Structure 1
Amino acid sequence: MITLLRGAVLSMSASEAVVDVGGMGFRVMATPTTLSQLRVGQEATIPTSFIVRDDSMTLYGFADEDERNTFDILIGLSGIGPKIGLAVLSVHTPDTLRGIVEREDIAALTQVPGIGRKGAQRILLELGTKLGPATSQVEAAAPSSVTADVVAALVGLGWSEPVAAEAVKTVEGESGPLPVSQMLKLALQKLGGKR
């Protein structure tokens, strides 16, 4: 099982990075927040979860061990695969998710693409105390934190900081506060081929 990668980041897109480990390129699927911390050409240490299915072998990368452990718990729930597990962590940090479970906040879970009301109820029931208590009372990421993460992700993907910041500002003006993953997606659409 591959639980950690350390090596130079060769390339990145909105949903994955390629990391050179000893001359081998590993493709790692990750959340926008995790990707925003990586820079092409720089060394990175990425906790990973290696998922083997009948038709694929996929490596998922995370910002830290807490995020990886939360992912592993999520995909252990019935009906939750890696795609939904990654989507949950794209919208909510592990600690925010703990708070959601403690408050039984169905509405917050339905913000995740692919999770409806019934699915959210089932997830809350199955998670129970598996994630442990929330370590802070943070309800959601502050908009400035989301903005900074998205700008950093765009810069990591090759756009200049002023161009990235302008795209994010435009998206915020049109759509209001959004989770990192949705804001990054809309900003990428705005930028198109501009570099």
Structure 2
Amino acid sequence: MIASVRGTVQAVRLDGAVVEVGGVGLLVHATPATLATLRVGATAFLATSLLVREDALTLFGFADPDEREVFETVQTVSGVGPRLALAMLAVHSPDALRRAVQDEDLAALKRVPGIGHKGAQRIVLELAGRLGAPSTSASDGGARPDASDTTGARPREQVTEALVGLGWTAKAAQDAVTGVADAVEASGEILEVASLLRATLRALGGGRG
């Protein structure tokens, strides 16, 4: 298993980053929050989880080992695969997921695209006592820096595509992006993909709290 990677960031995309390790560029899939901390040309360290299938090897990266552990643990729930697990961490922080399971907060879990009422009930039942208790000082801290190469001429379209990739319907993603982007432009701020993506995730119901 590849437990972590350290190397130079070659590219940052909406669904992952390419990190050069020993002359080899590794594509690492990650959440928007993690990708927003990466900068092209800088050295990055990511805790990783390797998914091995007959036709592909897929590497997922995380800001820290705790996030990786939650990613792997939630996949033990029936019906939860890596794509849905990553979407859960795109919407909620690890401690937010712990609180949702501990408090049996089905509404919080249902904010994740692809999780319905029965799915949320199953997650609470199967993960009870397995994620550990949330930190009493749980906080996402200050705003995370934007990835420098995720700005572009089509931020609305790019963010919509990223949200669809995480599981939202095209209409839900487009409506949310339009509302947030219009507000950003009306305020006179520069429309950047990374910050627009984070703001739209919050608007869709849950942020990462």
TM over 0.5: yes
1:155 corresponds to which of 148, 155, 159: 148
Contact 2:109 2:120 in 1 (8 A): yes
Give me the whole-angstrom Cα distance separating, in 1, the residues matched to 2:85 and 2:106. Answer: 16
* Aligned-partner residue type, residue 184 of structure 1: L
CA distance 1:84–1:172, change in 2 (3 Å): farther
Q: What is residue 129 of structure 2 aligned with on the other side?
A: 129
Q: What is residue 61 of structure 2 aligned with on the other side?
A: 61
Q: CA deviation at 1:169?
A: 9.6
Contact 2:31 2:87 in 1 (8 A): yes
Q: What SS does structure 1 have at the residue aligned with 2:60?
A: strand
Give me the whole-angstrom Cα distance separating, in 2, the residues matched to 1:186 and 1:98. Answer: 22
Give me the whole-angstrom Cα distance separating, in 2, the residues matched to 1:39 and 1:19. Answer: 11
Q: CA deviation at 1:155?
A: 3.5
Which structure has the highest helix share of the two? Answer: 1
**1:25-44 counterparts in 2 under 5 A?**
25-44=25-44
Give me the whole-angstrom Cα distance separating, in 1, the residues matched to 2:195 and 2:97. Answer: 17
Give me the whole-angstrom Cα distance separating, in 1, the residues matched to 2:35 and 2:56. Answer: 22
Q: CA deviation at 1:76?
A: 1.7
Q: What is residue 171 of structure 1 aligned with on the other side?
A: 181
Q: What is residue 93 of structure 1 aligned with on the other side?
A: 93
Compare 49-58 and 5-14 and name the one that shifted more.
49-58
Give me the whole-angstrom Cα distance separating, in 1, the residues matched to 2:124 and 2:38. Answer: 32
- Unaligned runs of 5+ residues in structure 2 are 153-176, 185-193, 201-209
CA RMSD, Structure 1 to Structure 2 (Å): 2.8
Q: CA deviation at 1:156?
A: 4.8
Residue 75 of structure 1 pairs with residue 85 of structure 2: no
Compare 52-61 and 102-111 and name the one that shifted more.
52-61
Residue 184 of structure 1 pairs with residue 177 of structure 2: no
CA distance 1:172–1:61, change in 2 (3 Å): farther
Give me the whole-angstrom Cα distance separating, in 2, the residues matched to 1:24 and 1:10. Answer: 11
Give me the whole-angstrom Cα distance separating, in 1, the residues matched to 2:49 and 2:78. Answer: 18
* Aligned-partner residue type, residue 8 of structure 1: T
Q: CA deviation at 1:36?
A: 1.0
Q: CA deviation at 1:170?
A: 4.6
* Aligned-partner residue type, residue 146 of structure 2: A
CA distance 1:36–1:120, change in 2 (3 Å): same
In the superposition, the TM-score normalised over structure 1's length comes to 0.76
Q: What SS does structure 2 have at the residue aligned with 1:155?
A: coil
Q: CA deviation at 1:84?
A: 0.3
Q: What is residue 116 of structure 1 aligned with on the other side?
A: 116
